[in-house]
Chains A and B, each alone.
Chain A
Amino acid sequence: MGSGSFDFAMGIGGGAGQGIATPGDILARIFVRRGLHLSTYNAFQSIVRGGHIFLTVRVGERKVTNHGDRLDLLLCLNQDTMDRHLRLMDAGSRVVYNSDVVKPGQAREGVQLCPIPVAEVTKSRNKLAQNTVATGAVAALLGMDFQILQESLNLRFQRQGQRIVDENVGVAEAAYDFVRANYEPFPTSLPSKTKPLGVWSGNDALAMGGAAAGMKFFVAYPMSPSTGVLHWVAQNARSLGIMVRQVEDELAVANMAVGAAHSGCRTMCATSGGGFALMTEAVGSASMMEIPVIFINVQRAGPSTGVPTKTEQGDLWQAIGASQGDFQRFIVAPMDALDCYNSVTELFNLTDKFQCPGIILSDLLLAEGRFSVDADDIDMHPKIDRGELITESSGTNGYLRYKITESGISPRALPGLEGHAYVAATDEHDEDSTLVSDEYADARKRRAMLEKRARKFESAADDIEPPRLLGPEDAEVTLIGWGSTYGVIQEAVELLKLQGVTANHLPIKWLVPFHGEAVTSILSRAKRTIIVENNFSGQFFRYLRSETAFTVDGNIRKYDGEPFMPHHIVEGVLEQLAGKTDHSVPYHEVHT
């Protein structure tokens, strides 16, 4: 438990199927209702039962941007958790376990072991009782009134009937009383702030952003870790008036999305890298037919099936190169959950204005994590601008769907409008949509149409925010990240300050279009530049070099499937400042 403002982290470990998500959810709700900030990370495996699952829940009075470096409390639902994690617990921490089934190992000096004989304490033979026991133990150790936990348990289990509610409340209270009677609570009780916060995942935020932006069509094929987007939309589709479909494969997903978008619906689809690979031909078709549609790729560790339940930022070049041919697309990598939401609402306006595909690169870390959010920070009624859309029939023929204009943008008529019939073709076509491929091929027309589409993007960068440098301009080190590393780099900057190193941070959200000049201007004034990214080959390092010819001084790269913890970045910076290396690969100490 950190000194100063309340900053507390606990880990709950067990096997898949043991239900560790339940106590995690119950406690997370309690924390955000008290106005505390929250970040959770679930290290799990793609199996329904067995394996090792480890949920980290970090909670604090100040904004919590990542799951942190250390644990104050370890809850072991099985022996495996004890064996893997006990050695990492520091003095002052508590370790709670079911002593009926788990044997403790050798703890460090000052670690308080808190065995609970679950069967005896709860008088229950229900194997899931130990999850509820865990919530009672946490409430006791954090000095909470039992009443608060009881209310949460009521809410959580009310749908399953009063008998289940009573059983859980009884078990939790027995555990609460036992821990209060036998073990020393943490010196600082769980604080309470006046304004309650909400909780969401990055996937929830993407789906919600779509709903707020007027998404009328969502289609997907289930694929971890993107499936949460489908689940949110499916759950809310009827009350919000959104057509949602789960279809046969990602080819159908992407092409159905193109069809729905062409009919006039704001349309989005979501997948992970493997599914996105199947979708890519449709990305190019949306460009050729000039149809606005959003493709979400929630990245996981690849290549191929890869590590389905682990995180990575490995699909940047896949997004840049998605589909054959030479064409323009937006690519945005949201930096946190709220940014997932905002990226969707912004991207819908951009793809509508420029009549082209847009790609969102999220990742497992954002997608599956739970984060606190202040509801007032969410703009539930964002600006909606559908671009140059023809809605009134002029009654005349001679409409040019792909009219060559100065901006490259051609006013769009939707099918059904009288007097504007045209064919949207994936073949190259003329202004009036006549095909100019094959026997009608015409070099001048081909060039004119390709340039028309490209011209749309000449001004696209003006519509997006250039990256901003966070922190002191004259810092010793400039850390550069893209997408989901935003939070952990921010914390690393603070930790470096405690070690006497001044650092600043250049987070990149928009990959395409890329504000190359702005970035070069910032980086050329930096004393030492280090890129932090969650992949092996330095995908952003290579992208930055290709777009700006700028080469950074060093890299910190992690590609073991687990996200960065703040100390990984701090240690990388320190060893690079000491001149030991210019390429740091942090060691992930927990074998999850």
Chain B
Amino acid sequence: MATVVDVVEGKPVIPLTARDFKGRLDPDWCPGCGDFGVLNSLQRACAELGLQPHEILTVSGIGCSSNTPGYINAYGMHTLHGRALAVASGAKLGNHELNVIVTGGDGDGYGIGGNHFTHTARRNIDLTYLVMNNQIYGLTTGQISPTSRQGMKTKSTPFGSIELPINPITSAIINGATFVARGYSGDVKHLTELMKLAIQHQGFSLIDIFSPCVTFNLDNTHAFFKGRIKKLEDEGHDASDWKAACEKAMEWEDTIYTGIFFRAGDERTLEAREPVLDEGVPMAHRSLGLTQEQAEKIINGMM
């Protein structure tokens, strides 16, 4: 039974549970898909942070994992393939009071949307970016993705991929992201904690999440990850050291790290640096039209 814990503007605030963030639809993911663990973690993180559904805007692109906004009770946008970060940036700058959480896959974010990944990171807009990285294109029934390993055999690379994969963690750090972590959908407890920190972080945060595709990626399975994953916090990693973070992120063969690789000190967000937002009110809530004084100034400039 819910307990009244707080009173805001005379109304009791009833804390929500993860169930309250359940969307109207059940996910259409394959049974055993890693994305279930990500969805559960996100619903738990939102509840544990005491957020309300209307305070959250989830934004996604296209792909299996990009269906996530439909499964969460919150405002959402299910946008174009690769464009989630751009749309989310506009929405966040338009109303910076929203908690904007971007969800998507490796192809959507690191491939077709790669340019936005680079530039959103350097801008340090206060977005939380959750990438369900399954190292394959699932919705199109199994082709290589930007994170597929060299040599991987898929329908589009029947003789093995000859390209090197992108490293999302080092890329994000080098591009200027201020919170860079890796999670694993098979460890919901750990992932929930990472998400809570990422949502609370002021600035651009990335969590690259291993979210195995049980249908089309037979290389990077739960069995593959379970034997290799080690938590950075158990190794005494210093998340303020970006060089050490990059070294840890490059490890792959026997040990694969999860946890927070890098967290910047006190870099200000774009919203904090933008003088137009100094007065605090979100752009979307401001009164429209020019004052007499503004109108006169414009006209005088033309004369």
At the interface with chain B, which of A60-68, A300-308, A421-429, A559-567?
A421-429
| Residues in A whose Cβ lies below 8 Å from that of B115 | 248-249, 251-252
Complex partner residue of B80 from A260, A266, A285, A434, CB under 8 angstroms:
A285
Does B266 interact with chain A (Cβ within 8 Å)?
no
Complex partner residue of A426 from B52, B80, B86, B90, CB under 8 angstroms:
B80
A404-427 interface bits toward B, Cβ cutoff 8 Å, 1 = contact, 0 = none:
000000000011111111111111
Does A282 interact with chain B (Cβ within 8 Å)?
yes
| Residues in B whose Cβ lies below 8 Å from that of A416 | 54-55, 57, 75, 95, 97-98, 284
Interface residues in A241-263 (C-beta closer than 8 Å to B): 241-243, 245, 247-249, 251-252, 255-263
Bound form: Cα–Cα A208–B98 in Å: 29
Most chain A CB neighbours (cut-off 10 Å) among B59, B78, B97, B299: B78
Bound form: Cα–Cα A257–B86 in Å: 9
Most chain A CB neighbours (cut-off 10 Å) among B70, B74, B91, B94: B94
Contact at B94–A239, with CB atoms within 8 Å?
no
Q: Which residue of B lies closest to A253 (CB)?
A: B86
Contact at A243–B79, with CB atoms within 8 Å?
no
Q: Given A256-B86, A263-B91: A378 and B299 within 8 A (CB)?
A: yes
| Residues in A whose Cβ lies below 8 Å from that of B118 | 248
Contact at A263–B90, with CB atoms within 8 Å?
yes
Contact at A216–B284, with CB atoms within 8 Å?
yes
Contact at A415–B91, with CB atoms within 8 Å?
yes
| Residues in A whose Cβ lies below 8 Å from that of B82 | 251
B274-287 interface bits toward A, Cβ cutoff 8 Å, 1 = contact, 0 = none:
11110100111111
Most chain A CB neighbours (cut-off 10 Å) among B86, B91, B295: B86
Minimal beta-carbon separation of B294 from chain A (angstroms): 6
Minimal beta-carbon separation of B100 from chain A (angstroms): 9
| Residues in B whose Cβ lies below 8 Å from that of A196 | 303
Say whether chain A's binding surface is mostly helix, strand, loop, or mixed: mixed
Contact at A214–B75, with CB atoms within 8 Å?
no
Complex partner residue of A282 from B52, B75, B83, CB under 8 angstroms:
B83
Minimal beta-carbon separation of B256 from chain A (angstroms): 31
Does A438 interact with chain B (Cβ within 8 Å)?
yes
| Residues in A whose Cβ lies below 8 Å from that of B286 | 216, 241
Minimal beta-carbon separation of B97 from chain A (angstroms): 7
B80-107 interface bits toward A, Cβ cutoff 8 Å, 1 = contact, 0 = none:
1011001111111111011000000000
Q: Which residue of A lies closest to B302 (CB)?
A: A198
How big is chain B's contact interface, by range?
35 or more
Does A237 interact with chain B (Cβ within 8 Å)?
yes
| Residues in A whose Cβ lies below 8 Å from that of B97 | 416
Q: Given A216-B286, A216-B288, A414-B284: A375 and B119 within 8 A (CB)?
A: no
Does A441 interact with chain B (Cβ within 8 Å)?
no
| Residues in B whose Cβ lies below 8 Å from that of A212 | 289-290, 295
| Residues in B whose Cβ lies below 8 Å from that of A574 | none
Contact at B55–A255, with CB atoms within 8 Å?
no
Q: Given A247-B86, A248-B115, A251-B86: A263 and B80 within 8 A (CB)?
A: no
Bound form: Cα–Cα A182–B95 in Å: 66
Bound form: Cα–Cα A281–B81 in Å: 10
Bound form: Cα–Cα A105–B9 in Å: 84
| Residues in B whose Cβ lies below 8 Å from that of A133 | none
Contact at A243–B54, with CB atoms within 8 Å?
no
Q: Given A251-B83, A259-B89, A261-B90: A418 and B75 within 8 A (CB)?
A: no
Does A439 interact with chain B (Cβ within 8 Å)?
yes
Bound form: Cα–Cα A418–B226 in Å: 41
| Residues in B whose Cβ lies below 8 Å from that of A382 | 289
Does A47 interact with chain B (Cβ within 8 Å)?
no
Does A455 interact with chain B (Cβ within 8 Å)?
no
Complex partner residue of A237 from B58, B67, B276, CB under 8 angstroms:
B276
Contact at A421–B297, with CB atoms within 8 Å?
no
Bound form: Cα–Cα A249–B120 in Å: 12
| Residues in B whose Cβ lies below 8 Å from that of A251 | 82-83, 86, 115-116
Contact at A424–B284, with CB atoms within 8 Å?
no
Contact at A421–B288, with CB atoms within 8 Å?
no
Complex partner residue of B91 from A259, A417, A425, CB under 8 angstroms:
A259
Bound form: Cα–Cα A274–B77 in Å: 27
29 cross-chain CB contacts under 8 A: A33-B303, A196-B303, A199-B302, A241-B283, A243-B93, A248-B116, A252-B86, A252-B119, A255-B80, A256-B89, A259-B90, A259-B91, A260-B283, A261-B94, A263-B94, A263-B98, A263-B282, A264-B94, A285-B79, A380-B298, A382-B289, A415-B75, A416-B54, A416-B57, A416-B75, A416-B95, A418-B54, A426-B79, A434-B70
Sample of 18 more A-B contacts, CB < 8 Å, known A263-B283, A282-B83, A435-B78:
A198-B302, A238-B275, A241-B276, A241-B286, A243-B277, A248-B115, A252-B83, A255-B79, A260-B91, A262-B87, A381-B289, A381-B295, A423-B69, A423-B78, A424-B77, A426-B78, A435-B25, A435-B67
| Residues of B participating in the A interface, judged by any CB pair closer than 8 Å | 24-25, 28, 52-55, 57-59, 62, 67, 69-70, 73-80, 82-83, 86-95, 97-98, 115-116, 118-119, 274-277, 279, 282-290, 294-295, 297-299, 302-303
| Residues of A participating in the B interface, judged by any CB pair closer than 8 Å | 32-33, 196-200, 204, 208, 211-214, 216-217, 219, 236-243, 245, 247-249, 251-252, 255-267, 281-282, 285, 289, 373, 375, 378, 380-382, 384, 386, 414-427, 432, 434-435, 438-439
